[in-house]
Amino acid sequence: MIVALIDSGLGMLPTALWLRTKRPELNLMLALDPDGAPWGPKPEQWVIDRVLETAQCCLDRGAEVIVLPCNTASVTALEHVRELVGPGVPVIGTVPAIKPAAAACDSVAIWATAATTSSRYQADLIERFGNGSSVVSIACHGLAEAIDRGEREAATAAIASAAARTPDDVGAVVLGCTHYPLVADEIAASLPAGVHLFDSAEAVAAQTIRRIDALGEAGDARGALHARTGSVEVYLSGRPGSLPESARAFPVGRLLTAGASQPS
């Protein structure tokens, strides 16, 4: 079973780690887009076209499941990808974990990119899933970009800025960009003790596995396949490649780099 994860940068890595942890036998296809990154500030139709092009490349290379572990791609192109692939290929998107955070805490902060923070999409999610909680949005300027570059000092500065603008009384912080779990420990350390972090990576991985099991074939073969670890293939803007050196700044990046096949 080949599972393709599509994102402009390293935001796919937390979901890939959960998939590797829960189902090590799955073959992972990591499709990054360094030529077009970041996607957030790009026009909507540009993002749709880019994601569809990437999805088609993944299908052509044998992908049987497509995951969009990226808020921008999910908001903009999820339904277009589902239309492209048809009902036979599961497509799983990402939604910031506002609902579980608001269910657990009366005061919530959403850390996200500037584009997501100002979007109608996030406002709608807060309206739908805020559950009466006090919800504040915090734009984390430059954090996703620093993570993509593997620049830990720049990431630390961006985290400190966001923490300084986060109310002291929040009970939960939603990591509203899929990059942010890569520095979750540092984010937690910047916040008052007892603040809970919520992100969507584990939930996206779990939904992916449910969809795979619903296909039937994976569930039947799972016991036999658990003895081996699946492959990791990397594509950079459609070209066979390797995870960028910046991925090695994070434990999951080092893990997946070690397991990735090298381009011929």
Residues forming the active site: 70, 177
Nearest to 252 by CA among 86, 64, 28, 2: 28
Compute the distance between CA of residue 172 and CA of residue 104 in angstroms, rounded to an integer. 8
Query: What H or E segment, with its residue span, contains residue 221?
Result: helix 217-225
Question: Quick check: 197 and 187 in contact, CB under 8 A?
Answer: yes
Phi-psi region of 139 (alpha: psi -120 to 50; beta: other; left: phi over 0): beta
DSSP β-bridge partners for residue 173: 109, 197
Compute the distance between CA of residue 247 and CA of residue 34 in angstroms, rounded to an integer. 13
Collapsed DSSP state (helix, strand, coil) of residue 264:
coil
DSSP β-bridge partners for residue 260: 232
Compute the distance between CA of residue 29 and CA of residue 261 in angstroms, rounded to an integer. 10
- Tokens at 230, concatenated: 């699946």
Structure letter (DSSP) for residue 195: P
Question: Quick check: 5 and 30 in contact, CB under 8 A?
Answer: yes
